[in-house]
A and B are shown apart, each in its own frame.
Chain A
Amino acid sequence: EIVMTQSPATLSVSPGEGATLSCRASHSVSSNLAWYQQRPGQSPRLLIYGASTRATGIPARFGGSGSGTDFTLTISSLQSEDYAVYYCQHYTNWPLTFGQGTKVEIK
């Protein structure tokens, strides 16, 4: 099983500032990496797949990069609706696994 590790656990960011979230895989997942956003009380929402491709309707301020074992989600200028928990997920093989999440909170 591939273990996904996210850091930091919590990120405090002021509105309008940028944020960088990290996700590391215990084994190479190539570019088979997705990012999700989960707002309080809501279901997760797909942001990024293929490590860097934005899903339909996702604003350009969200960007993904990386391959192999190290990945980054960048939010260029935080809006109020971006304060949420973010999860990475690999889909290289079974079982699919998620990271434990990074909470982005208001500074």
Chain B
Amino acid sequence: EVQLLASGGGLVQPGGSLRLSCTVSGFTFTNYAMNWVRQAPGKGPEWVSSISASGADTYYADSVKGRFTISRDNSKNTLYLQMNSLRAEDTAVYYCAAHRSGQSVYFDYWGRGTLVTVSS
């Protein structure tokens, strides 16, 4: 069974930092590029960042570029998102999602999501 378990969310003050993790099982992690997609309350999903299967290539939405860093540890089947200089508008449920390496970027698998709330 495919499972993507995101964790690390919580309440953080504006300007603070948080590190999200996503642990994967049920498929060969190194065959998949990985992504973070967020969804603010009552809104549609918003793509945040993507990383290639090897980790060599990364991509970011303009809204998070320079503040967020995506990375992965293929030995641990784990994806990360380091979030710095957090703003109120970063408040959302953050999902990790996977797509096959070499495939176009639509999301075959989604995790359950972890809630990030940025508030003082």
- A residues touching B (Cβ–Cβ < 8 Å)? 32, 34, 36, 43-46, 49, 55, 87, 89, 91, 94-101
Contact = CB atoms under 8 A, between A and B. Distances in A.
B110 A101 contact: no
Contacts of B106: 34, 46, 49, 89, 91
A55 B107 CA distance: 10
Interface of B: 43-47, 50, 59, 61-62, 95, 104-108, 110-113
A36 B97 CA distance: 13
4 smallest CB-CB distances across A and B, nearest first, come from A34-B106, A43-B110, A96-B47, A91-B105
B49 to A, nearest CB: 10
Contacts, number: 47
SS of A interface (majority)? loop
A97 B63 CA distance: 13
A94 B61 CA distance: 8
23 contacts: A34-B106, A34-B107, A36-B45, A36-B107, A43-B111, A44-B95, A44-B107, A46-B106, A46-B108, A46-B110, A49-B104, A49-B106, A55-B108, A89-B45, A89-B107, A91-B105, A91-B106, A96-B47, A96-B105, A98-B45, A98-B46, A98-B47, A101-B44
Contacts of A55: 108
Q: Which of B43, B62, B107, B112 is most buried by chain A, counting CB atoms within 10 A of its CB?
A: B107
